[in-house]
Amino acid sequence: MAKQHVATTINGDAVEFLCETHQTLLDVLRDELGLTGTKEGCGTGDCGACSVTIDGRLVCSCLVLGVEAAGKSIQTIEGMAAGTQLHPLQRKFLEHAALQCGICTPGILIAARSLLERNPDPTEEEIRLWLAGNLCRCTGYNKIVDAVLDAAREMRGE
């Protein structure tokens, strides 16, 4: 079948790509556009490793078709730092040793940023509930929660 032409915006830049109609946004990002920072842990919407935002909404990119990106604005982990300036969440994850293997980290960072955009002062329980869709097998989540709390504090200017 002929491939579809899609025009979209990724991390603020206009991007065009060709994809098969059944290809997921995750596959397009990784295989067609070389944006491999978004990870695949399951392909079924159960692990959150593929988290991105579409027009500001947090989604699993493995559950979205590539063609659905048309006309939308997509944010991936590659766009999280401003140049060499890490996002406070990225910095706090490093300072708190909130990653071990790091495969879940891009998805968790995207999800955590989404949380802080909606709720700049979340409780520990709110963080744990918000991140319940993002699996981490290495850390037991302790230091992830600490890093998000600390980043939120810094972003509030406290």
Partner 1 sequence: MTMPDTITPGEKKLKVVGTRPVRPDGVPKVTGLARFGADYSLPGMLWGKILRSPHAHARIRSIDTSQAQALPGVKAVMTAADLPEQKFEYVGAERVAVNFWHMTRGIMAREKALFEGHAVAAVAAISKTVADEALQLIKVDYEVLPHVINIEQAMQPDAPLLFEDMITRGVEPAPDKPSNISKRIEFKIGDIEAGFAAADKIVENTFRTAPVHQGYIEPQACLARFDADGQAELWASSQGHFVIRALTSRLVGMEVGNLRVHPAEIGGGFGGKNVPYVEPVALVLSRKAGHPVKIVLSRDEVFKACGPAAGSLMTVKIGITKDGKIVAADGVFSFQAGAFPTSPVMNACMCSFSPYDIANVRSVGYDVVSNRPKTAAYRAPGSPLSAYAVESTMDMAAASIGMDPLQFRLKNVAKPGTPTVSGPKHTHEGFAETIRALLQNPAYSTPLGKNQGRGVAVGYWFNNGGESSANVHVNEDGTVVVATGSADLSGTRASMAMMAAETLGIDYDKVRAIVADTGSIGFCGISAGSRTTFATGIAVVQACRKVIDELRARAAMIWDAKVEDVVWEDGCARRAGKGAGEVETLPIKAIAAKRTVTGGPVSAEVSVNAGGVAPGFAAEFCDVEVDPETGAVKVLRFVAAQDVGRAIHPALVEGQIQGGVSQGIGWALNEEYIYDDAGRLVNAGFLDYRIPVASDLPRIEAVLVEVPNPNHPFGAKGVGEANIVPSLAAVSNAVSRAIGRRMTELPMSPPKVLHALGSQRGS
Interface with partner 1, residue 116, by CB under 8 A: no
Closer Cβ to ligand FES, 34 or 157, answer by number: 34
Interface with ligand FES, residue 40, by CB under 6 A: yes
Closer Cβ to ligand FES, 7 or 132, answer by number: 132
**Taking the C-alpha atoms of 23, 26, 27 and 29 in order, what is their torsion angle to the nearest 10 degrees?**
120
Interface with ligand FES, residue 128, by CB under 6 A: no
Closer Cβ to ligand FES, 8 or 105, answer by number: 105
Closer Cβ to ligand FES, 57 or 156, answer by number: 57
| Beta-carbon contacts of residue 54 (< 8 Å; ≥ 6 apart) | 64, 68, 69, 72, 73, 74
Interface with ligand FES, residue 46, by CB under 6 A: yes
- In the window 15-34, what residues touch partner 1 (CB under 8 A)? 20, 22, 27, 30-31, 34
Interface with ligand FES, residue 111, by CB under 6 A: no
Whether residue 136 contacts residue 108, with contact meaning beta carbons closer than 8 Å, is answered with yes
Interface with ligand FES, residue 90, by CB under 6 A: no
Interface with partner 1, residue 134, by CB under 8 A: yes
CA angle 26, 115, 124 (to 5 degrees): 125
Which residues contact ligand FES by CB under 6 A? 40-43, 45-50, 60, 62, 99-104, 136-139
